[in-house]
A and B are shown apart, each in its own frame.
Chain A
Amino acid sequence: AQKITQTQPGMFVQEKEAVTLDCTYDTSDQSYGLFWYKQPSSGEMIFLIYQGSYDEQNATEGRYSLNFQKARKSANLVISASQLGDSAMYFCAMREDTGNQFYFGTGTSLTVIP
């Protein structure tokens, strides 16, 4: 079974609008971490935001927020006020505390339209 599922291969959003990128995960661990990374065409994976499984509040980092719904095992990324520079691939990832691996999803390609 896939540990991380991203069902949106590609998304479009108008500049200055908000967009939600979906991510669901599968784990039997009680303690784990969820992450989002941005990968522009240059190839570097840029860390955006982190949510711990025990964190009661949704994480926020500037224009990024993580909509964490533990019961549904979802960790959606919300980007507010989209900018042209937000066009990139976005990867959801999970780290289980019992193991050492980071599991990555297949990514969502976001295109911001002027």
Chain B
Amino acid sequence: EAGVAQSPRYKIIEKRQSVAFWCNPISGHATLYWYQQILGQGPKLLIQFQNNGVVDDSQLPKDRFSAERLKGVDSTLKIQPAKLEDSAVYLCASRAPRGFKGNTIYFGEGSWLTVV
């Protein structure tokens, strides 16, 4: 079974530029998450989708971050304009169906963003 796919793996941009990250969850996983992980810290939830609807985006900095999941499968996370403090790993995850290992979430390899 294919895992959560993310791209690009690495991105370096200048502040005030824009960047977009793409995620393809595990087939059949209706719930998709985007997490931001700053070096040395645990993941912080940015947004959670259930199919193509937003469940929780309370910690998403909406003045610069946006995310969509138009067809309930793939998702994109965009940052515009980027700030230095956005340098982090952006992790996409999807959740197993209810009853399977406690609905555990599976992560992609992450997209490393460096803003200079």
Which residues of A from 16 to 43 have beta carbons under 8 Å from B? 33, 35, 37, 42-43
Interface pairs (20), CB distance under 8 Å: A4-B42, A33-B102, A37-B107, A43-B89, A43-B91, A43-B109, A43-B110, A44-B109, A45-B43, A45-B93, A45-B107, A45-B110, A47-B104, A50-B102, A51-B102, A100-B48, A100-B50, A100-B56, A101-B56, A102-B105
B106 and A104 contacting across the interface, CB-CB below 8 Å = no
**Closest Cβ–Cβ distance, residue B2 to chain A (whole Å):** 14
Contacts of A83 in B (CB 8 A): none
B55 within 8 A of A: yes
Q: Is the interface of A mostly helix, strand, loop or mixed?
A: strand
Interface positions of A (Cβ within 8 A of B): 4, 33, 35, 37, 42-47, 50-52, 91, 95, 100-102, 104-107
With both chains docked as a complex, state the minimum distance between the C-beta of A25 and any C-beta of chain B, in angstroms.
13
Contact residue range for chain B? 20 to 34
Q: What is the 8 Å Cβ interface bit string for chain B, positions 94-114, against chain A (1 contact, 0 not)?
A: 000000011111111110100
1/0 per residue, CB under 8 A from A, across B28-45: the answer is 000101000000011101
Give the CA-CA distance A59 to B107 in the complex, in Å. Answer: 21
Q: Which B residues form the contact surface with A (CB < 8 A)?
A: 31, 33, 41-43, 45, 48, 50, 55-56, 89, 91, 93, 101-110, 112
Residue of A nearest to B107 (CB): A45
**Which residues of chain A are within 8 angstroms of B91 by Cβ–Cβ distance?**
43, 45
- Closest A residue to B33 by CB, please name it: A102
Looking across the interface, which residue of chain B has its beta carbon closest to that of A105? B42
Residues of B within 8 A of A33 (CB): 102-104
Contact indicator A106/B56 (Cβ below 8 Å): no
- Additional 20 contacts, C-beta under 8 A, given A44-B108, A104-B42: A33-B104, A42-B109, A43-B109, A43-B110, A44-B110, A45-B43, A45-B91, A45-B110, A50-B101, A50-B102, A52-B102, A91-B42, A95-B102, A95-B103, A100-B48, A100-B50, A101-B56, A104-B43, A107-B41, A107-B42
